[in-house]
């Protein structure tokens, strides 16, 4: 059904229910002449007289009464559907489709999930975990969480962590028979646990004194999840690269040994990103506010 036909049928239903062009025009916020023209156009299209008119009264014809009986439930259903759709703009409810890496889910989303779920019980977060950048629009996602360097420039980006640092770690057992690497090039003499990106194995990036160094490492395992890299490092399989926050407790408890610390600079951190602020659902606004990273003091 075309939009004009729906408008005409809705106008007919109001006139037939009110039995008055005057009251119907006031209710619809249009002039009586415009409303009369709308009804005539509908009757001409259907080749049916729907309303009997006199100078004093208006009433549906038999055909009009039959149409109104079938039409009213449909119009009520459309009204309810529109009200439900519009409520998404104002009420924090509904399903949000999100995409992020497993690390982002563990470091950003899960620590705040309990408080968010209690504050917004009518919001369901539908999360897909991937490695690497994703086209939100093509994937029909509402938002994503990604490292700042990988987010497209036309996206709205909201910081959800402070800057991060990577850490190169290995188990005490691994180092029992091996020397500690002092420079990135020393990694060539070690078994390394590599992280797979969509573009291929990640080349480990280092920097010191403005000098950048990239190393293509080798070892017994290439995998797409830093959490699994950490587990393999704990097992003594080799050196792993993970976010500092992910391995801090293992280092403190001496389950892992950190190396090359003065070669690992800060990186921008994670951001929540989405295509546009126009007509943003209330549920997305609530999630952005819940995950937004507080500004550091003095900034």
pLDDT, residue 229, reads 94
pLDDT band at 86 (very low <50, low <70, confident <90, very high): low
Residue 180 has pLDDT above 90, yes or no: yes
- What are the two backbone dihedrals, phi and then psi, of residue 288, each rounded to the nearest 5 degrees? -60, -45
The backbone region for 19, taken as left when phi is positive above 0, alpha when psi lies in -120 to 50, beta otherwise, is: left
Rounded to an integer, the average pLDDT of 126-148 is: 90
For residue 217, give both structure tokens. 């490492």
Q: Which domains does the chain have, with CATH numbers?
A: 3-90 (1.10.10.10), 94-154+274-290 (3.40.190.10), 164-267 (3.40.190.290)
What's the rounded Cα separation, in Å, for the pair 63 and 214? 80
Q: Which long-range contacts (CB under 8 A, 24 or more apart) does 66-69 make?
A: 67/12, 68/12, 68/13, 68/16, 68/17
Q: pLDDT tens, 39-49?
A: 899 888 888 89
């Amino acid at each position: 059904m075309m939009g004009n036909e729906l408008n005409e049928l809705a106008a007919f239903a109001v006139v037939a229910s009110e039995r008055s062009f005057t009251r119907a025009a006031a209710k619809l916020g249009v002039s009586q002449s415009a409303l009369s023209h709308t009804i005539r156009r509908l009757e001409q299209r259907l080749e049916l007289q729907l309303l009997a008119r006199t100078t004093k009264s208006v009433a549906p014809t038999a055909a009009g009464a039959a149409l109104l009986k079938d039409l009213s439930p449909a119009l009520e259903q459309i009204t309810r559907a529109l009200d439900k759709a519009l409520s998404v703009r104002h009420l924090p409810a509904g399903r949000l489709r999100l995409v992020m890496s497993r690390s982002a889910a563990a470091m950003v989303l899960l620590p705040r999930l309990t408080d968010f779920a209690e504050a917004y019980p009518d919001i369901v977060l539908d999360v897909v975990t991937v490695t690497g950048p994703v086209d939100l629009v093509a994937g029909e996602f509402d938002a994503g969480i990604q490292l700042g360097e990988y987010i497209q420039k036309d996206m709205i980006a909201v910081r959800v962590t402070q800057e991060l640092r990577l850490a190169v770690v290995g188990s005490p057992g691994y180092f029992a028979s091996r020397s500690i690497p002092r420079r990135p090039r020393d990694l060539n003499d070690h078994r390394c646990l590599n992280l797979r990106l969509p573009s291929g194995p990640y080349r480990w990036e280092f920097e010191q004194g403005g000098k950048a160094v990239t190393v293509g490492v080798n070892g017994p395992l290439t995998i797409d999840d830093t959490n699994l890299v950490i587990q393999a490092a704990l097992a003594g399989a080799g050196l792993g690269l993970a976010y500092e926050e992910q391995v801090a407790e293992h280092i403190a408890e001496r389950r892992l040994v950190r190396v090359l610390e003065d070669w690992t600079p800060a990186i921008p951190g994670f951001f929540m990103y989405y295509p546009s602020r126009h007509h943003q659902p209330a549920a997305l606004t609530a999630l952005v506010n819940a995950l937004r990273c507080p500004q550091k003091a003095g900034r």
